[in-house]
Amino acid sequence: MVYASFFRRLAASCVDGLILFVPSILVGQVLPGSGTGFGLGIIVGVLYKPVFESSVMAATPGKALLGIAVQGEDGQNPTFKKALIRFFSSYISMMIMGIGYLMQPFTTKRQTLHDMLSECVVIRKETPDFNYFIVWRDQLKSIFAAL
């Protein structure tokens, strides 16, 4: 098992940020000055990573594009609960001046603090054995169905 590098994970986060940015702009244009648009943005933002990471692909679109995926330390795809814990604990990694992220290159499994708290690892996964488009479509349906 090859663990994902710091820069590959950073690049995947940037791709995911761009993916979330476009719908945020569109919602802002459709519902300007509306609390509904803000609330919708929060819900989509909170569900995005946990829904994708707990799916069969175990990766957000950004992670999949960069060839990495999230796994539980047991080698299984994370459950939605683990993915949600990982998402919320990522804020702890950031709140301590980013140290939770910066420790990643120095741990044996290349884990961030939020990886450790959720008992997950991020691995290189170069050979997809399924159609990402179909999985992304189904996961996006799940996110928007929750709204």
Is 16 part of any domain?
yes
Is 1 part of any domain?
no
Structural domains counted in the chain: 1
Residue with tokens 């959720």: 118
Is 122 part of any domain?
yes
pLDDT at 63 over 90: yes
Q: Determine the Cα–Cα distance for residues 12 and 75; give it in Å rounded to an integer.
A: 21
Distances (CA, A) of 35 to 24, 32, 42, 139: 13, 9, 11, 25
pLDDT in tens, 16-36: 999 988 877 777 777 777 677
Is 138 part of any domain?
yes
State pTM to two decimals.
0.81
Q: Are 142 and 83 in contact (CB under 8 A)?
A: no
Which of helix, strand or coil describes residue 111? coil
Sequence-distant (≥ 6) Cβ neighbours of residue 40 within 8 angstroms: 27, 31, 147
Split at pLDDT 50, 70, 90, the class of 140 is confident
Which of helix, strand or coil describes residue 74? coil
Q: What is the DSSP string of 47-100?
A: HHHHHHHTSTT-S-HHHHHTTEEEEETTSSPPPHHHHHHHHHHHHHHHHTTTHH
Write down the pLDDT at residue 99.
96
pLDDT at 73 over 90: yes
Domain housing 87: 6-145
Is 21 part of any domain?
yes
Q: Considering only CA atoms, which of 116, 89, 91 is closest in space to residue 103?
A: 116
Q: Are 22 and 8 in contact (CB under 8 A)?
A: no
Split at pLDDT 50, 70, 90, the class of 139 is confident
Q: Are 51 and 100 in contact (CB under 8 A)?
A: no
pLDDT at 131 over 70: no
Is 86 part of any domain?
yes
Is 11 part of any domain?
yes
